[in-house]
Chains A and B, each alone.
Chain A
Amino acid sequence: MLLRKNVHRLLATTFNNRAILSVRTLCTNKEENVKDKYDIIIAGGGMVGCTLACALGKNSLMSHLKILLLEGSPNQNYQLKPEYSNRVVALNQNTKSLMSSLKIWRHVEKARLQPIRYMQVWDACSDALILFNSSDILDDDIAYVVENDLLLHAVNTELTSSKIRNVQIVYGAKISDYRLSKDDGKIATHNIVKMTNGDVYACDLLIGADGANSAVRKAMGVQYLSWNYDQMGIVATLHLAEESENVTAWQRWLPTGPIALLPLDNSRSSLVWSMWQDDAKRLLKLTEEEFVDAINDALWKQYPRSKGVEACMSWMSSWLKRAGLPDGASRQLPPSVRSIAVGSRAAFPLGFGHSVRYIAPGVALVGDAAHRVHPLAGQGVNLGFGDVKDLTEFLSDAIYTGYEITHHSWLEKYESSRQRHNVPTQIAVDALHRLYTIDLPPVVLARSLGLQLTNALYPIKKLIMSHATT
C-alpha cells in the first residue's frame, strides 16, 4: 500500500518534471528555436481574425494573456478613395452590435456606410415576390453595406490603438507548418507554429481564422464537407441611371443564379451576380458597355413563363387579396444601370464548406475556416462575426470560472452553440440555391407559391428576419 503510494507520488513528480523539461527542450533545441510563447495565436488577419484579436484584447478578463496575430499580407496603409471598392459586405444588426461594443463601428460611421431599409426579392420565372421592410419588422435597418477594406481598416485602427496592449501583430507572416498539441490528460503540450523564415512560436490556444482553405483545419485533420457550386460570383461597382434615396437591396432570381444590387450611396450600388462558370467567363470578356447591358437585361428582361404557373399565381393572389393580406402586386421597380466603375469587374468561385469539428484540443476555428456559404443571402461574414462573439464570451467565461482557456468543456460549448446556428443557416442557403437553379414548371410553381405565402404571412417573415439578423 505504502509502496504503491510512493510509486504514485514518484510518477506524479516525474510527469510534472517532464512537463517543465519539455518546455525547456523546446527552448534549447536548435531545430525548434521557440522565439516566443503566447497564450493565444490567431492565424489569419482577415476581417474575422482581426476582430477576434480586438475582442480578446479588449476583454478585461484576458488582459493578462499574451496574444499574437499572424497576418500573411504586409501592413497596408488605407486611404478612403472617392470610388467605392468592389468588395462589400452586408453586416446585420448582430454584427453591428459586436462592432459597436468594440468601438469599431464609430470608425465605419465616420467614413461611410449605407443602410439597407428595404429588400425586394423576386423570381424571374413568375410574379412571386417578397418584400422586407425594416420599419415594420425590426424598427431598425435590415443591414449595412460596408466595404471590406474599410471595415478591416476600422478594426485595425482599434486593434492598434493604445487601449490594447497585449496583442502583437506580425504582418507578412508566412506559416510553413503547424504541430498541434496532444492532450493525453497528463502532459499538455503546446501548439507549435513554424514560419518559413525559421521563427517558431508556441501557444496554448491556436485559433484558425485563415479562410476557406484553412491550413489550421488541415492540421487538425477533421472531416470537411464541401462542394463547389460550379458558379462564379461577379462583383462590380455600378453607377445608376438616376439619383434616388438608395436604401433598397434588390435581388432577382434568374434561372442561371441570383443577381443582387446592394446600395452604396444615392447614385451607386454594388453588384453581386452569381452564375454558372461558363456564363461568367463570357461576361468577363464583354466590354464594359456590353456588360452594363447584360446587367440591365438581367434586372428587367421578361423570361419565358409557364402558363400554368401564371394561372395558379393569379388565383393565389386573388385569394390573398380577398383575405386582406399583401398579394405582392405592389412591387417597386429596380433601378437601371448607367455604367460601371472602371476596372471594378471581378469574379470569384462559389462553394459550400462545413467543418464537422470546429475544435480540437487547444485549437478552434472561426469564420470561413469553419464554414463557407453561397453569398445569396449575405450571411457568410456575419456567421464569422457571430463566431467571434461567442468564442470571446465562452473564453472569458472559462477564465472567470477559473478554467484554462483551452479547457475542452468551454471549447465544446463554443462548438455546439455555433454549429447550432451556422449549420441550419448554411443548409437553408444551400437549399435556396438548389431550389432556384431549377426551372421546371412544378418547382417554379411550388417556390413561387411558397414565396408569395411567406410574403403574405407576417410572422414567418419576421422569423426569417430574426434568424438572419442574429
Chain B
Amino acid sequence: MAQIRKLMKNHWLKNVIDTPVLSKSITSANAAKTENSTIKEDEIKMFSNQNEDWWNLNGPAKALHSMNAIRVPLIRDGLVQCPYEDRTPTPLKDKKILDVGCGGGILSEALAKIGAEVTGIDASRNLIDIAQEHCQENIKLINKPKYVCTTVEEHLNDHNEYYDGVVASEVIEHVANKELFIKSCVGVLKPGGRIFFTTPNRTRATQILGICISEYVLNIVPKGTHHYDMLVTPNEMSFLLERNNCHVELIYGLFYNFLQNRWSFVNSQMLLFAIQAQKLE
C-alpha cells in the first residue's frame, strides 16, 4: 500500500511539477546524435506490463477500442474516396498500411477487416505476441494482419517507399526521438501516400484533464500512460511533417466522452488531435 502511494506520488510530482522542456528532441540539433532510436525503454516496459486485458472491451484499453469508430473512418476516407453507391465492405482492398506502435493490434485488426493489407509493428515483443495470438483466434477475420517486433527505423531498411498508408495512433507521445520517428514513418511511405497521427496535444488542459484527472482520479487511462513533457503540439507535428516533404492536409481536434465511451471530431485541438498528411512526389 505504502509502495503504491509512493509510486503515485512520484507520478503526480513528475507530471504536475516537471516544467515542460520544450520537446527537447524536436528542437535540439544534438538529439538525433545522442538518441538515434525512437525507443524509450520505460514506456515499453509500462505497456508490456498492462497487457493482460488488452482485448477486453471494458478493460484498460476501452477508450482505444471505441476510438476505432472515428480513426477507422479517418484513415479510410483519407486513403479512398468512393461514390456513395459504389461503396463495398472492403474499401481498403489492396492498400498496404503500416500500423506503427500497433500494441495489441486493436487498430490493425479493424483496418484489416475493411480489406487493408496491414503490417503492425511494435517495439514490445510481449504486445506483438498478444496481437498475433488474438488475430489467430479471431475466426471471423480472414484477412489477417502481419505483426513484426521492430522499430520503424529498422523497418525502413527493407521497406523503403513501400506503404500506401502509415498510421501511428496514440504512439508519438511515447517516442523518444520524434524527429527520427517521423522521418522513418515518411520513409516507408510511397510518394503520394498518406500518413496519419493521433496524439494528445501539449496543453495545460491535457495536463490537467487528460493526465491528472483521467489517469489518477477517474482511472479511464492506466496510470503513467502519458507524460506531459513527451507530448507534441499540432504545430510541431506540422513542422516536422512539412520538413519531411509532406503536405499537411487536415488537422482535427478529438474529444472523448468517457461517460458514453464515445469519440467525436471537434474544432478545438486543445485535448487531442488527429493530423493527416500526404507525401509529395
Chain A contacts to B: CB under 8 angstroms: 4-5, 8-9, 12-13, 16, 20, 60-61, 64, 185, 396, 399-403, 409
Contacts of A400 in B (CB 8 A): 76, 87, 89, 91, 114
Minimum CB–CB distance from A407 to chain B (whole Å) comes to 9
Minimum CB–CB distance from B5 to chain A (whole Å) comes to 24
Also in contact, A402 and B113, with CB within 8 A (given A64-B89, A409-B66, A409-B262): yes
CA distance A165 to B33 in the complex (A): 63
Assign chain B's interface to a size class.
20 to 34
Nearest 5 Cβ contacts at the A-B interface = A402-B113, A402-B114, A401-B72, A399-B89, A61-B87
- By the criterion CB–CB under 8 Å, are A402 and B72 in contact? yes
Mark B41-64 against chain A: 1 for CB-CB distance below 8 A, else 0: 000000000001000011000000
CA distance A5 to B53 in the complex (A): 10
CA distance A16 to B134 in the complex (A): 11
B110 at the interface (CB under 8 A from A): yes
Known contacts A5-B52, A396-B87, A401-B114, then 14 further A-B pairs from the complex at CB < 8 Å, ordered by chain A residue: A16-B139, A60-B85, A60-B87, A61-B89, A64-B89, A185-B57, A185-B58, A399-B89, A400-B89, A401-B73, A401-B76, A402-B89, A402-B111, A409-B69
B154 at the interface (CB under 8 A from A): no
Mark B186-228 against chain A: 1 for CB-CB distance below 8 A, else 0: 0000000000000000000000000000000000000000000
Minimum CB–CB distance from A104 to chain B (whole Å) comes to 16
B281 at the interface (CB under 8 A from A): no
Within 8 A of A (CB), among B111-138: 111, 113-114, 133, 137
Minimum CB–CB distance from A21 to chain B (whole Å) comes to 13
**What secondary structure prevails in chain A residues at the interface with B?**
helix
Contacts of B158 in A (CB 8 A): none
Q: Which of A13, A64, A400 has the most CB of B within 10 A?
A: A400
- By the criterion CB–CB under 8 Å, are A61 and B88 in contact? yes
Minimum CB–CB distance from B244 to chain A (whole Å) comes to 29
Contacts of B114 in A (CB 8 A): 400-402
Q: Which residue of A lies closest to B140 (CB)?
A: A404
CA distance A161 to B135 in the complex (A): 40
Q: Which of B73, B87, B139 has the most CB of A within 10 A?
A: B87
29 of the cross-chain contacts (CB-CB < 8 Å) are: A12-B137, A16-B137, A16-B139, A60-B86, A60-B87, A60-B88, A61-B87, A61-B88, A61-B89, A64-B89, A185-B57, A396-B87, A399-B89, A400-B76, A400-B87, A400-B91, A400-B114, A401-B68, A401-B72, A401-B73, A401-B76, A401-B114, A402-B72, A402-B89, A402-B110, A402-B113, A403-B69, A409-B66, A409-B262
CA distance A185 to B89 in the complex (A): 24
Contacts of B66 in A (CB 8 A): 409
CA distance A409 to B114 in the complex (A): 18
Contacts of B87 in A (CB 8 A): 60-61, 396, 400
CA distance A326 to B208 in the complex (A): 59
Contacts of B133 in A (CB 8 A): 9
Q: Which residue of A lies closest to B52 (CB)?
A: A8
Contacts of A20 in B (CB 8 A): 139
Q: Which residue of B lies closest to A64 (CB)?
A: B89
CA distance A294 to B85 in the complex (A): 52
Minimum CB–CB distance from A285 to chain B (whole Å) comes to 55
Contacts of B139 in A (CB 8 A): 16, 20
Q: Which residue of A lies closest to B138 (CB)?
A: A16
CA distance A399 to B110 in the complex (A): 11
CA distance A430 to B86 in the complex (A): 42
Minimum CB–CB distance from A398 to chain B (whole Å) comes to 9
Minimum CB–CB distance from A390 to chain B (whole Å) comes to 15
Q: Which of B58, B69, B76 has the most CB of A within 10 A?
A: B69
Q: Which residue of A lies closest to B85 (CB)?
A: A60
CA distance A121 to B154 in the complex (A): 76
Q: Which residue of A lies closest to B69 (CB)?
A: A409
CA distance A399 to B76 in the complex (A): 12
Q: Which residue of A lies closest to B90 (CB)?
A: A402
Within 8 A of A (CB), among B84-120: 85-89, 91, 110-111, 113-114
CA distance A9 to B132 in the complex (A): 13
Mark B75-89 against chain A: 1 for CB-CB distance below 8 A, else 0: 010000000011111
Minimum CB–CB distance from B150 to chain A (whole Å) comes to 23
CA distance A418 to B244 in the complex (A): 46
CA distance A5 to B126 in the complex (A): 11
CA distance A117 to B57 in the complex (A): 53
CA distance A389 to B57 in the complex (A): 30
Q: Which residue of A lies closest to B86 (CB)?
A: A60
Minimum CB–CB distance from B117 to chain A (whole Å) comes to 14
Minimum CB–CB distance from A412 to chain B (whole Å) comes to 9
Q: Which residue of A lies closest to B49 (CB)?
A: A1
Minimum CB–CB distance from A67 to chain B (whole Å) comes to 15
Q: Which of A9, A64, A399, A401 has the most CB of B within 10 A?
A: A401
Q: Which of A64, A396, A402, A409 has the most CB of B within 10 A?
A: A402
Minimum CB–CB distance from A337 to chain B (whole Å) comes to 47
Contacts of B73 in A (CB 8 A): 401
Q: Which residue of B lies closest to A58 (CB)?
A: B85
CA distance A4 to B49 in the complex (A): 13
Contacts of A8 in B (CB 8 A): 52
Q: Which residue of A lies closest to B112 (CB)?
A: A402
CA distance A61 to B111 in the complex (A): 17
Contacts of A399 in B (CB 8 A): 89
CA distance A400 to B76 in the complex (A): 9
Contacts of A9 in B (CB 8 A): 133
Q: Which residue of A lies closest to B113 (CB)?
A: A402
CA distance A445 to B207 in the complex (A): 60
Minimum CB–CB distance from B41 to chain A (whole Å) comes to 19
Contacts of A61 in B (CB 8 A): 87-89
Contacts of B262 in A (CB 8 A): 409
Contacts of B52 in A (CB 8 A): 4-5, 8
CA distance A399 to B73 in the complex (A): 11
Minimum CB–CB distance from B191 to chain A (whole Å) comes to 27
Q: Which residue of B lies closest to A15 (CB)?
A: B137
Minimum CB–CB distance from A97 to chain B (whole Å) comes to 14
